[in-house]
Chain A
Amino acid sequence: MNRLIEFAIGLLFGWGLLLSGMTDPGKVQGFLDLAGAWDPSLAFVMGGAVLVGFFAFALAARRSRSFLGHPFQLPAAREIDRPLVLGALIFGVGWGLAGFCPGPALVATAAGYPEALVFVAAMLAGMAAFEGLGRLRGRALTADPAS
């Protein structure tokens, strides 16, 4: 039952990515290109998503457990530290270069675009490198792998 719910939520999320235009790297780069012909669409994606998300997280904050009885697993980290900022900057450079972020790249791979598959393979290598580095140092690089 739980697995079915997770599958359905993944499906819904993927439909949202397709409908919104996030799976089109040209659209993402069009949004990031302030100095060129600017496509403001992504601001609408963000606005719509946060509008719904805001009420959901506000509702969650007033409950002790989820509607299915699971404990809430929210990121515990509070500190704005170097890994957070440096990691986000590195991600942003990659995002700008290709126009793909993780979710849309997975959906575009499933849709059969070889470019997305190559991106995802490299992305998994980057993620594995992070895990490897963490093991090498004998600890997780960040305190908060949840989000």
Chain B
Amino acid sequence: MDGAGDAVHALYQQVRPPMARTMTIDWLHFTPWLSLAGGLLIGGAAALFILLNGRVLGISGILGGLLARRPGDAGWRIAFLLGLAAAPATFWLAAPAGFLAEPRIEAGWGTLVLAGLLVGFGTRYGSGCTSGHGVCGISRLSPRSLVATAAFMAAGFLTVYLLRHV
């Protein structure tokens, strides 16, 4: 860039609106079609669960309910969780190698433990997680789930901001 271009660029940095100064899209990792397709499958599973079994598909409730040890209540939970556990192996049978990006796990061991404790306790205390409140709750326009989803998203945005930018 020549001198005049630099000057114009510097001036633009000064005058452009604050949002434009901070919003950068991560085009490298952005996967609109795969994520949309995955979302349709997730929604499809939630749809089958309510229409066939009559239950809300919420992972924290399904898993946490096992720990409540209500008699005669474990079979369907375990069957669902076994299906979930069989997903990676069966997925890779069908998908070509390198089809999905390798997960990026940044958190250290201590952070993973702390985060797990918070997620476990918080989802049970708040009666749901991303699936029960986020997907099913919003789908059925539950005011409680809309509030919960707004709350956990806001807490997530703030946490990552503090983690990465402070």
Contacts and interface: CB of A to CB of B under 8 A. Distances in A.
B37 A19 contact: yes
A144 to B, nearest CB: 5
Contacts of B157: 32, 34, 96
Interface in A75-107: 75, 77-80, 83-103, 105-107
A49 B44 CA distance: 7
B126 A85 contact: yes
Interface in B37-70: 37-61, 63-65, 67-68
Interface magnitude class on chain A: 35 or more
Interface in B110-166: 111-140, 142-145, 147-149, 151-161, 163-165
Contacts of B90: 11, 15
Interface residues of B, number: 117
B8 interface: no
A93 B159 contact: yes
Question: For the complex, would chain B's binding face be called helix, strand, loop or mixed by DSSP majority?
Answer: helix
Contacts of B105: 25-26, 99, 113, 115-116
Interface string A54-80: 111101110001111011111101111
Contacts of B14: none
Contacts of B28: 37
B7 interface: no
B135 A46 contact: yes
Given A83-B127, A84-B151, 19 more contacts: A12-B83, A15-B38, A15-B90, A16-B41, A16-B45, A18-B87, A34-B22, A52-B139, A53-B138, A56-B51, A84-B126, A88-B122, A91-B119, A97-B111, A118-B109, A123-B120, A124-B67, A127-B63, A146-B55
Shortest Cβ-Cβ A-B pairs, 10 listed? A87-B126, A126-B120, A14-B87, A20-B38, A10-B83, A48-B39, A92-B155, A122-B116, A26-B104, A96-B159
